[in-house]
Structure 1
Amino acid sequence: MGVRTAADVVTPALVARLTTGVLGSGTTANHAPFTGRKLADLPESTPQDVAAAFDRAREAQRRWAAVPVRQRAAVLLRFHDLVLARQAEVLDLIQLETGKARLHAHEEVQAVAVAARHYGRKAPAYLRPKGHMGVVPTLTKVTELRQPRGVVGQIAPWNYPFELSVGDALPAFVAGNAVVMKPDTETALTALWARELLIEAGLPADVWQVVLGEGPVVGPAVVAHADYVSFTGSTRTGREVAQGAAARLVGCSLELGGKNAMLVLRDADVEKAAAGAIRGCFSSAGQLCISIERLYVHESVADEFVRRFVARTKAMRLGTGLAYGADMGSLVSDRQLETVTRHVEEAVAKGATVLAGGRPRPDVGPLFYEPTVLEGVEAPMAVCAEETFGPVVSVYRFRDEDEAVGLANATPYGLNASVWTKDGRRGRAVAARLRAGTVNVNEAYAAAYGSARSPMGGMGDSGLGRRHGSEGILKYTEAQTVAQQRIMPLGPAFGLDDEKYAALMSSGLRAMKALRLR
């Protein structure tokens, strides 16, 4: 088999098939970061198209919510098998649309398969009616139900177009919702492929609507019609989404930016920490909300760690092929390249030292930038505090754990962190002091993110709400309490006057406390 090209993968027939049913009154296009060339012409939605998509979704949602939850969950399990069987198709699309290395694209396949399996197995338990003790035991029967919110508006980013589109939508679907999604136009084919595969697995087509277009145009229209909003993107845009949702009194979950720290303690295995830092800093060319941008290394092991880490960084292979082998791919856009270049050049101009990388690589592709390690970064430099979202990491040295924890927490962000030590108990103790939604011990990000039974999300400027686990599905539901009163009412009855009723209830309350009822 010869080398595959974009033309071999993104054919007119594929584009026509994937965009069937997408409402659009105009035309837009996406491009391949590896080459800068156009990949496909796509429908461009107007606010009126968004409103029509919500109408379609609402009608379909009522029928979908009536399907028993175990049947909805079975769709996810069939989807799981289809994804693994046909992963080569989506790996090509992810690489072409994002420019990432194939191994990093496979992280998305892994994450989607894990989410599909988890919610396919656990959704019936998460959504099962739950009985609670009523105000008067035996006389008050209380049941907590979980009702779908209706139509979820989802705004998905470009950096993980498979995992952060369908991966986030799966719990919404199995909870009985429909979804109107706005993926980033530049990575829309991946999301549309996921939609086609989920429909093949049994999801009714109208339950998942996709709208495409410029964020400032289509995004607010999605928020304006949604019963709940799921957003992944920048902190600035996340604030706007939250304000729009709050104005309509609908809920939202937001996974936003990060300036994530990795702490290498004095007893860390330096070789393992250096290898872990490569994965943590340069996966998907650093275009990952939970990637590491700050490395804090104990002064006693800093020289050895830096030597090993820099050597590994300089040995990384850049590549554009639709195959395994490259260690890092491309940035996704001119905007990302400009930000990375500006952050590095400004830091160097103000006194920082480049230990590895530090320059674009147009010889490989128009948006490639070398994996870069900086030292001597200080607070006035943009790269010190602002999210770079590229293959750039700064190394800092610390004297003791208190100092390291303080430095790691000295940011408004709180998404992810990493601690490296040979003592697991010590690592967990340090982790508990870090202000981050997920903390990994002897891993950079994958251990926490991949543990789908546990919640994942940010603190502070890194967002609201969680994905994964019970929180990741229950956020797509409304809690409803149904309380049935039996035998006697909660008021004077059987000849009791008000005073005697009050005395009876007071005695009952004392008795329930004495019996340790909760």
Structure 2
Amino acid sequence: MTSTRDAVSAPAAGQDAQQDTFDSLDPRTGEVIASYPRHTPEQVEAVVARARRAARWWNDLGFDGRATKLGAWRRLLDARRDELAAVVSRETGKPMDDARIEGILALDHLHWAAKHARRVLGPRNAAAGLLMINHKATVEYPPMGVIGVLGPWNYPVFTPMGSIAYALAAGNTVVFKPSELTPGVGTWLADSFAEAVGDVPGDINADAVFQVVTGEGETGGALCRAGVDKVAFTGSTATAKKVMATCAESLTPVLVECGGKDALLVDADADLDDAAAAVVWGAMSNAGQTCVGVERVYVVDAVAEDLLDRVAARAAQVRPGGRPDSPYGPITMPSQLGIISGQIDDALSRGGRAVVGGPGSVRAPYVDPVVLADVPEDSSAVTDETFGPTVVVNRVRDLDEAVERANASRYGLGASVFAKARGHEVARKLRCGMVSVNGVIAFAGIPSLPFGGVGDSGFGRIHGVDGLREFTRPLAISERRFRSVNVMTFDRPNWVVKVLAKLVSVIYGR
């Protein structure tokens, strides 16, 4: 399998000796890990064309045939879990165990998608209704064709695999453009897939089913314009708008999963130690670079000081570093450091208080845990996504006020509720796509649950039944079973409509 250091020596379709390249860097040290091609629009079009030729073969394998191929890939990923984790750790700076967790979660989703694709997407009967009682009605979900996936750098395996695995299981081929910060991860995944699938008959190459193109935003734009049948994007809301505008040029549909400002709500009857542990891990793990990470906490006044003390005690014990066993690593994208500093300064200048850490916690490329309290709701630390190991803890009158504040955000991705009596009730009131009750981010680890948001957090879903159908087109088929009076003709008798009208009144007009 091609290693990251051999990346440039393995050209994609159309690549020549003068290929422009860019470097992948270790965010902990700035060391160059490897160089990768900046694929041009012409090269991206060639890659998509290869995927188009392979799409029919991949779809014709059927659900069982694809499940066999995806099962072989799953077993290879499992066998080389540490190898993949090492690539992730080098390009993101995250600890090895966090990188391993990504691989484990991806395996679970890959297995679920392959196992359930037939049940979810295969033909199913539908009711024909009174007017068409002599017809059989069925619905099935054929693949769209070629799916373009634009992936993020914060979870470069788990997040894009939520689109890649489900699109492949549904019968599509995939062209994946990983983040320019993690091109080695994308290359590794595509190489491992080709190795697992092995030889295929005819003039179709196994590596045409799942291919990777690398580069920055220009390459992503080229993929949007290259004739794919759908684009699945994960990233910032600002970039999502650019992707949507580009895709609109050709009416290419999009699935958009953007950031969040996820809230964790704590009621007076909650297990405060569990809630505190969830706050700290949800806010600080992966250096806070998690779209569904905890960024806001709303706790009822009766237990606010108790919870804050527990959160502070836990957060004070966590320190980032570059070791494989560090709790979390560096800020992967250097420009994010300024955003984190700006939000901390804004919160404090508006009367918030730093319970743990403060402005001095930002020490590139690392950021120590920061816990802020009593921050005004119009502060950027409350309104804007941070993507750093900081959290705001604000007190509220009761859980109903907590819901109001949580829902006031323009984002609506995930949330958590810690409460014994009202947890599920409150979860249903939150304007977001996913909620964990007495847990944090648990929904992401359940393959059968859809994942996605509302508002500035995007639209469309990956994972689960919805994730499989996201990469298909519903096909409705009606088939006449027997002859009867046909209303769909100019030859129908005059009395037919009168009889039907009376019959409909008897059945539906009551």
Q: Shared fold (TM-score greater than 0.5)?
A: yes
Q: Give 1:441's match in structure 2, choosing from 437, 441, 446.
A: 437
Q: Which residue of structure 2 lines up, in the alignment, with residue 40 of structure 1?
A: 34
> Could you report, residue by residue, the CA deviation over 1:265-312 in whole angstroms, capped at 9, with x for unpaired residues?
111111111111111111111111000110111111111111111111
Q: Give the equivalent residue in structure 2 for 1:384.
A: 382
> Greater shift after overlay, 413-422 or 76-85?
76-85
Give 2:313's aligned residue.
Answer: 311
Report the Cα offset of residue 488 of structure 1: 2.6
| Gap change, CA 1:360 and 1:123, over 3 Å in 2 | farther
CA pair 496-255 structure 1, distance change in 2 beyond 3 A: closer
Name the SS of the counterpart of 2:251 in structure 1: coil
Structure 2 CA distance for partners of 1:302 and 1:10, relative to 1, 3 Å: farther
Matches within 5 A, 1:351-500: 351-359=351-359, 366-423=364-421, 426-445=422-441, 447-488=442-483, 491=486, 498-500=493-495
> Could you tell me whether the CA contact under 8 Å between 1:23 and 1:43 is conserved in 2?
no
Partner deviation per Cα, 1:383-422 (whole Å, 9 max, x = no partner): 1211111111111011111211111111111001111123
1:55 matched to 2:49: yes
Q: Does 2:293 align with 1:291?
A: yes
Q: Is the 8 A contact 1:29 1:39 kept in 2?
A: yes
CA distance in 1, matches of 2:143, 2:248: 19
Separation (CA, whole Å) in 1 of partners of 2:23 and 2:399: 50
Q: 2:139 aligns with which of 128, 144, 147?
A: 144
Q: Which moved more, 1:99-108 or 1:48-57?
A: 99-108
Structure 1 position 16, deviation (Å): 5.5
Give the counterpart of 1:205 among 204, 207, 213.
207
Unaligned runs of 5+ in 2: 199-205
Structure 2 residue 245 is matched with structure 1 residue 243: yes
SS where residue 295 of structure 1 aligns?
strand
Q: Deviations over 1:97-130 (max 9, x none)?
A: 1111233223312220111111121011111111
The Cα of 1:313 is off from its aligned counterpart by 0.6
Q: Which residue is equivalent to 1:330?
A: 330
When residues 197 and 350 of structure 1 are mapped into structure 2, their CA distance, relative to the original with a 3 A threshold, is same
| C-alpha displacement of 1:202 | 1.5
What is the SS of the residue equivalent to 2:351? coil
- Residues 296 and 396, structure 1, Cα contact 8 Å, conserved in 2: yes
The equivalent residue for 1:4 is: none
Deviates more, 1:120-129 or 1:371-380: 371-380
Counterpart CA distance in 1 for 2:113 and 2:496 is: 48
How far residue 228 of structure 1 moved from its aligned partner, in angstroms, is: 0.7
2:305 is paired with a residue of what secondary structure?
Answer: helix
In 1, Cα distance between equivalents of 2:375 and 2:47: 48
- What is the Cα deviation at residue 338 of structure 1? 1.7
Paired-residue identity, %? 34
Provide the TM-score with structure 2 as the length reference: 0.91
- Structure 2 residue 70 is the aligned partner of structure 1 residue 79: no
Structure 1 residue 12 corresponds to structure 2 residue 16: no
Match of 1:98 in 2: 92
Higher mean C-alpha deviation, range 67-76 or range 117-126 = 67-76
Correspondence 1:165 to 2:167: no
1:137 and 1:495, CA in 2 relative to 1: closer, same or farther beyond 3 A?
Answer: closer
Tell me the secondary structure at the aligned position of residue 196 of structure 1.
helix
In the other structure, the counterpart of 1:503 is 498
Deviation at 1:508, TM superposition (A): 5.3
Cα drift, residue 380 of structure 1: 4.4
Q: Which amino acid aligns with 2:340?
A: V
Cα 1:508/1:299, change in 2 over 3 Å: same
After superposition, residues 219-234 of structure 1 pair within 5 angstroms as 219-224=220-225, 225-234=227-236
Segment of structure 1 superposing worse, 244-253 or 122-131: 244-253
Q: Kindly state the Cα deviation for residue 178 of structure 1 after the two structures are TM-superposed.
A: 1.2
* Counterpart in the other structure of 1:27: 21
CA distance in 1, matches of 2:489, 2:329: 78
Aligned residues of 1:282 and 1:371 also touching (Cα < 8 A): yes
Residues 74-100 of structure 1, C-alpha deviations (whole Å, 9 max, x = no match) = 222232222222111111111111111
Conserved? CA contact 2:154–2:289, under 8 Å: yes
CA contact (8 A) 1:22 1:210 kept: no
Structure 1 residue 21: deviation in Å?
3.1
Could you tell me whether the CA contact under 8 Å between 1:111 and 1:167 is conserved in 2? Answer: no
Matched residues in 2 for 1:253 and 1:212: separation?
20
Kindly provide the amino acid, as one letter, of the partner of residue 82 in structure 2: A
Cα-Cα RMSD: 2.4
Cα distance in 2 for partners of 1:358, 1:312 equals 16
Shift of 1:249: 2.4
- Name the counterpart of 1:320: 322
Conserved? CA contact 2:13–2:46, under 8 Å: no
Which is worse superposed, 128-137 or 485-494?
A: 485-494
SS in 1 for 2:394: strand
Which residue does 1:339 correspond to in 2? 339
Residues of 1 paired with 2:425 and 2:451: CA distance? Answer: 19
In structure 2, distance between residues paired with 1:29 and 1:42:
6
> 1:73 is matched by which residue type in structure 2?
A
